[in-house]
Structure 1
Amino acid sequence: MKITFLIHNVYGIGGTIRTTVNLAAALADEHEVTIVSMLRHRARPRFAIDPRVTVVPLVDNRPSSPDASDELHRRPARVFPAAEKRYKQYSRLTDRRAEEYLRDCDADVVIGTRPGLNVYLARFAPAGALRIAQEHLTHDTHTDRLRTRLARHYRTLDAVITTTEADAAVYRKKMRLPGVRVLAIPNSVPDPGPAPAQERPPVIAAAGRLVRAKRFDLLIDAFTDVAAKFPDWSLRIYGAGNDKQRLQDLIDEQGLGERARLMGAVSPIEAEFHQASVVASASDAESFGMTLVEAMRCGTPVVATDCPLGPAEIVHDGVDGRLVPMGDRDALAAALCDLIADEPVRLRMGEAARTAARRFDPAHIARAYDGLLTELSAARAARPRRRLEAGWRTLLARPAQSLLRR
């Protein structure tokens, strides 16, 4: 099969980019795979891309590019939904390039990787191709306005894939998509190889965008307890974002000095996780939890807040890591201290984490996609009839519901 992914900007850094590159490489064992990057801002992608995978950029934002001065690139997009968070980065030029590429491509399968691109997919993808929307965010993080727009377009697709079963259940309950397969397939993370044959240093690591939802402030606050009880241990936070100065001010106010450090963005992150004894996440919200899986694949136990929606589907509390209540500073500090104090438990959890995380191997996730594509191809002829039947059931149910309300 010819499989095409639509992605916002494959030249950047982020969880969606990482998992798309991983999956594309795994699928390339059996298929012809292309990654279409709507935007491009540098010469080469930051992540290594399998040479069997073709990368096609549509709009070049580099100052030297003719696209940067194109009049259409100064005019707001009409097709890309205005309620989408990335809307300001899109234009009439991205609308046109997406339409031209999709209508001329010969892909058997087209997979979108964010809401606005899934609208492009619904509007422009070839009628004969399987059209699949991935949701790397969550249903409830979208505004009502965006969800209304997405529901109209998602009804024309073959499948909607979320990263967690919890989010798939929300979609099935709140967004009526007759004839559309809604299911969860987690993100993929490759095996980073064995950890270096040396004792791990007394380091707690954390990684992610430096934004308020990631609650690195809570982690820094909790670390003050760790620092008081275990003077040899330090905290390293990897990432970039608008919250950097606020977090540095908090480190300074707590008098942590070099014990807690903002390390900047590092990619790939596995080498740093191999050099940590524990990885922590204090997020208030996660659509999946890539850093948790990346840490576990390194054999590093994790301590994470049990926030919606991902961590509980990744971490088995007390087996390969710890889950603590969201926003509970004391519980987070206590869990970290417990793992630090009990090295045998920490090592045992790390080995359990490495074993459990094998289920996220790209080859395993690729097999799940292969199975889905086979299922969708076989069921495609019956899909219009199922949609029609679902529509009639809804219409027939309305009079009954009206009578019940009287």
Structure 2
Amino acid sequence: MKIVFLLHDTYGIGGTIRTTLNLATALADRHEVAIVSMRRHRTEPRFAIDPRIRLVPLVDVRKDSADLRDPRYTRPSGVFPAAESRHRQYNALIDDRVADYLSGSDADVLIGTRPGVNVYLARFGPRGALRIAQEHLRHDAHSKRLRAQLAPHYRTLDALVTMTEADAAIYRRRMPLPGVRVLSVPNSVPEPRVPTADGTAKVVAAAGRLARGKRYDLLIEAFAGVAEKHPDWRLRIYGHGPERDGLAQLIDDLGLTDAVRLMGVRSPIEPEFTRASVVAVTSEAESFGMTLVEAMRCGVPVVSTACPLGPAEIVRDGVDGLLVPVGDVAAFTKALLHLVEDEPGRRTMGAAALENAARFDPAHIARQYELLFATLRETRGARAHARRRAAARSRARDLLHRARLLGVARRAARLLRAG
């Protein structure tokens, strides 16, 4: 089977790129796999790509590239949705290159990985292929305008895959897609090539973009209560982002410069997690929660906010980690102290985390996708019938609405004539 993934820019760093590569590598054990990158901004990808996977860049945006001199490069995209956050990075040249590639593709399965790319898939993907949209962000993270732009295109696809069942339920409720299979398949995380954490290090770790929604300010404030009782423990936060200077100032204001460090970016992150005994996530919302799974695959228990949507589907509260209310500093401090002060308990949780996180292994997730491919092929006729039936109902509703409006107009005209 020929499987093609469509990515925004395979040459960058990001969770969607990493998880796509994980899945593509697992599928390459039994299938012919390619990754099509809408853009190419550097010579080599930052992540290693399995040599069995064919990488196809469509538009080269590196300095001195001939693509930059193509007049279509400066014309805005007429396909990529205007409400999508990456809209300014798309243009008529990408539109044409994607259309040319997809129209000539002989792939059996095409998988898009972000909303705007999924619109390309809907517009240009050959109808003979299975066309699957992945949503790596939550439904509610999209603006109402973007959701309205996506819905008519998503209705033409075969499946919509979210990262959590909670998000799939929201799509089923708020964006009806007749004939489209809406389901969740979690991201995959491979077994790390590092020794499992032993739970003895007096370190709490966190990793991610230093952005407001991650609430690292709350984590630092919560850790202040840990440092007060256990001054030999340390907090290490990995990542970069716009909140860095503010977080550094907060660390200084709380007198935690010896206890808390902003470590910058580390890739891969797993070696850093194995040097910790607890990994913390304080986000207000997560579409999935890759950091949680990465930590658990290293045998590290986690403390996470019970934020929408991912953590509750990853962490088994009290078994392989702890879940606390969003925004509650005192509760987060209490949860951290629980693990800091109970070394046997956190080792037990770490062992459970290692065992439970195996369900996110790429081979297991790849089998879920293979089952989805088979199901979509088997149900093609039934889904097409459901789509036609829904379209007929929609047309009937429109005709009835127009008839009612016409009847109202005629009655008004009679009243005017009578008056």
TM-score calculated relative to the size of structure 2 = 0.92
- Percent identity over the alignment is 63
What residue number does 2:20 align with? 20
Shift of 1:196: 5.5
What residue number does 2:239 align with? 239
Query: Would the aligned equivalents of 2:202 and 2:233 in 1 still touch at CA under 8 Å?
Result: yes
Shift of 1:263: 1.1
Q: Secondary structure at the match of 2:42?
A: coil
Q: Secondary structure at the match of 1:55?
A: strand
Letter in 2 for 1:96: D
- Is it true that 1:326 corresponds to 2:313 in the alignment? no
What residue number does 1:133 align with? 133
Query: Would the aligned equivalents of 2:34 and 2:55 in 1 still touch at CA under 8 Å?
Result: yes
Any unmatched runs of 5+ in structure 2?
405-419
Aligned partners of 1:14 and 1:329: how far apart in 2? 28
Query: Would the aligned equivalents of 1:193 and 1:298 in 2 still touch at CA under 8 Å?
Result: no
Shift of 1:57: 1.0
Query: Would the aligned equivalents of 2:199 and 2:347 in 1 still touch at CA under 8 Å?
Result: no
Aligned partners of 2:85 and 2:5: how far apart in 1? 20
What residue number does 1:158 align with? 158
CA offsets, 1:17-46, max 9 Å, x none?
A: 111000000000111000111111212111
CA offsets, 1:143-162, max 9 Å, x none?
A: 11110111100000000000
Query: Would the aligned equivalents of 2:39 and 2:59 in 1 still touch at CA under 8 Å?
Result: yes
Aligned partners of 1:261 and 1:289: how far apart in 2? 22
Aligned partners of 1:288 and 1:249: how far apart in 2? 30
Shift of 1:105: 1.5
What residue number does 1:338 align with? 338
Distance 1:181 1:302, change over 3 A: same
What residue number does 2:98 align with? 98
Aligned partners of 2:105 and 2:197: how far apart in 1? 48
Distance 1:63 1:335, change over 3 A: same
Distance 1:196 1:147, change over 3 A: closer
Shift of 1:68: 3.0
Quick check: 59-68 or 341-350, which moved more? 59-68
What residue number does 2:284 align with? 284
Shift of 1:203: 0.8
- Is it true that 1:56 corresponds to 2:60 in the alignment? no
Query: Would the aligned equivalents of 1:215 and 1:283 in 2 still touch at CA under 8 Å?
Result: yes
What residue number does 1:201 align with? 201
Query: Would the aligned equivalents of 2:194 and 2:271 in 1 still touch at CA under 8 Å?
Result: no
The 5-angstrom pairing of residues 29-44 of structure 1 reads 29-44=29-44
Shift of 1:179: 0.5
Query: Would the aligned equivalents of 1:13 and 1:267 in 2 still touch at CA under 8 Å?
Result: no
Aligned partners of 1:294 and 1:389: how far apart in 2? 44
Letter in 1 for 2:374: T
TM-score calculated relative to the size of structure 1 = 0.95
Q: Secondary structure at the match of 1:293?
A: helix
Any unmatched runs of 5+ in structure 1?
none
Aligned pairs, how many?
Answer: 401
What residue number does 1:265 align with? 265
Q: Secondary structure at the match of 2:258?
A: helix
Aligned partners of 1:397 and 1:78: how far apart in 2? 31
Aligned partners of 1:302 and 1:397: how far apart in 2? 51
Query: Would the aligned equivalents of 1:133 and 1:161 in 2 still touch at CA under 8 Å?
Result: yes
Quick check: 214-223 or 72-81, which moved more? 72-81
The 5-angstrom pairing of residues 80-229 of structure 1 reads 80-193=80-193, 195=195, 200-229=200-229
Q: Secondary structure at the match of 2:38?
A: strand
Aligned partners of 1:101 and 1:7: how far apart in 2? 13
Letter in 2 for 1:72: R
Query: Would the aligned equivalents of 1:131 and 1:157 in 2 still touch at CA under 8 Å?
Result: yes
CA offsets, 1:238-278, max 9 Å, x none?
A: 11111111111111211211321111111111111111100
CA offsets, 1:212-258, max 9 Å, x none?
A: 01111111111111111111111111111111111111112112113
CA offsets, 1:78-129, max 9 Å, x none?
A: 1101100111111122112111111112111100000000000000111211
Shift of 1:381: 2.6
Aligned partners of 1:260 and 1:113: how far apart in 2? 36
What residue number does 2:347 align with? 347
Letter in 2 for 1:136: H
Aligned partners of 1:199 and 1:296: how far apart in 2? 12
What residue number does 1:360 align with? 360
Aligned partners of 1:192 and 1:254: how far apart in 2? 35
- Give the structure with higher Rg (CA): 2
- Is it true that 1:9 corresponds to 2:6 in the alignment? no
Letter in 1 for 2:49: I
Shift of 1:199: 6.3
